[in-house]
């Protein structure tokens, strides 16, 4: 068997533009805008700039849940940010999120627009603003926040770690895949043990913690992330699967998943959402026949 030559890092790292694999066109070691372009603004108080990746879905699920409760002030315009085309580096987007990642939210309901970035912070902001999906009871609230922050800290091992090295990296590195597969299976076991005794993550009530965790770990146990279902033997996590089905059956979750979605069945893709009726009239299957 021929030996793979060991990589010896140079003394000083140098940016090799060709070395970014399938993300070479968007990954850069520099922050800030690459081009001048304003973001569009619609008629609603909340302006969301996003894409239906797991981080984006967290927020559209929350907004649809709030609207489902009859909270009209949670009305929003959802604008599509195509991250593979570099939309996150426009001057307008960077002004809302200096970190150039979706999702980003602009709350224009007050005298001065408020910008919020980081999906966990957006969930917490909306929960506090509308007084919903964040338990008031001291213990349940602590549980909710613990699982919310657990998600924010854990998902990079799943996405940037396992997902990247198992599905995207140009070469398969056993060490990296092993390391992150072990960690992701441990995370699934953490969830599985907790959900054995709890209906939802914060206990008996559905909360922003479920909205944060479901798009990542629910998709993983449904075999929808990185085609890694068999590799990780996700069927073994029965309690995570029970909870995944429970959350996934919620009407607001079904709607939230469709917003800013640019893959899958055309009937499941609502590229932009500006009105509740868009779910019935503006999905891609309807648009292509009416265009």
Ligand X SMILES: N[C@@H](CCC(=O)N[C@@H](CS)C(=O)NCC(=O)O)C(=O)O
Q: Please select the residue that binds ligand X; options are 68, 95, 98, 118, rule is CB under 6 A.
A: 118
For position 100 contacting ligand X by CB under 6 A, the verdict is yes
Find the part of the chain contacting ligand X (CB under 6 A) among 116-124, 137-145, 197-205, 275-283: 116-124
The SS3 call for residue 105 is: strand
Find the part of the chain contacting ligand X (CB under 6 A) among 70-78, 100-108, 173-181, 189-197: 100-108
Quickly tell me which residue has 């200096």 as its tokens.
98
For position 90 contacting ligand X by CB under 6 A, the verdict is no
Find the part of the chain contacting ligand X (CB under 6 A) among 72-80, 114-122, 164-172, 271-279: 114-122
CA gap 206, 209 in Å, rounded: 8
Quickly tell me which residue has 């996934």 as its tokens.
248
Q: Please select the residue that binds ligand X; options are 46, 66, 102, 252, rule is CB under 6 A.
A: 102
Find the part of the chain contacting ligand X (CB under 6 A) among 117-125, 163-171, 201-209, 278-286: 117-125
Q: Dihedral of CA 138/140/141/147: which sign?
A: positive
* Residue partners of 229: CB distance under 8 A and separation at least 6: 220, 221, 222, 223, 235
Q: Dihedral of CA 142/181/185/54: which sign?
A: positive
Question: How many Cβ atoms are within 10 Å of 184's Cβ, its own excluded?
Answer: 27
- Whichever of 93 and 237 has its CB closer to ligand X, that residue is 93
For position 26 contacting ligand X by CB under 6 A, the verdict is yes
| CB 233, min distance to ligand X, A | 25
The SS3 call for residue 88 is: helix
Find the part of the chain contacting ligand X (CB under 6 A) among 95-103, 172-180, 231-239, 265-273: 95-103
* Angle between helical axes of 251-258 and 54-68 (0-180°, round to 10): 130
Quickly tell me which residue has 């002030």 as its tokens.
73
- Whichever of 143 and 260 has its CB closer to ligand X, that residue is 260
For position 53 contacting ligand X by CB under 6 A, the verdict is yes
- The vertex-191 CA angle with 245 and 150, nearest 5°, equals 115
| CB 80, min distance to ligand X, A | 12
CA gap 291, 282 in Å, rounded: 11
For position 158 contacting ligand X by CB under 6 A, the verdict is no
| CB 78, min distance to ligand X, A | 15
Binding positions for ligand X, rule: CB under 6 A = 26, 53, 55, 83, 88, 100-102, 118-120
């Amino acid at each position: 068997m021929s030996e793979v030559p060991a990589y010896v890092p140079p003394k000083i790292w140098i940016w090799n533009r060709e070395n970014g694999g399938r993300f070479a066109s968007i990954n850069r070691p520099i922050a800030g805008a690459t081009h001048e372009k304003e973001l569009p603004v619609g008629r609603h108080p909340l302006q969301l700039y996003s894409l239906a990746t797991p981080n984006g879905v967290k927020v559209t699920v929350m907004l649809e849940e709030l609207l489902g409760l009859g909270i009209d002030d949670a009305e929003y315009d959802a604008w599509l940010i195509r991250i593979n085309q570099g939309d996150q580096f426009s001057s307008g987007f960077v002004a809302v999120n200096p970190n150039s990642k979706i999702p980003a939210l602009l709350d224009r309901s007050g005298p001065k627009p408020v910008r919020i970035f980081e999906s966990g912070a957006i969930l917490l902001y909306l929960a506090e603003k509308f007084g919903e999906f964040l338990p008031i009871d001291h213990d349940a609230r602590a549980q909710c926040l613990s699982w919310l922050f657990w998600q924010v800290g854990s998902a990079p091992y799943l996405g940037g770690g396992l997902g990247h090295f198992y599905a995207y990296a140009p070469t398969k590195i056993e060490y990296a895949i092993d390391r992150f597969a072990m960690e992701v299976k441990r995370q699934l076991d953490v969830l599985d043990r907790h959900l054995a005794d709890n209906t939802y993550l914060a206990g008996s009530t559905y909360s922003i913690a479920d909205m944060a965790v479901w798009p990542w770990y629910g998709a993983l146990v449904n075999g929808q992330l990185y085609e890694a279902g068999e590799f990780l033997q996700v069927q073994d996590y029965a309690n995570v699967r029970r909870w995944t089905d429970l959350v996934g059956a919620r009407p607001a979750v079904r709607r939230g998943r469709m917003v800013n979605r640019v893959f899958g069945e055309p009937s499941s893709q609502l590229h932009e959402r500006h009105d509740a009726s868009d779910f019935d009239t503006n999905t891609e299957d309807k648009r292509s026949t009416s265009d």
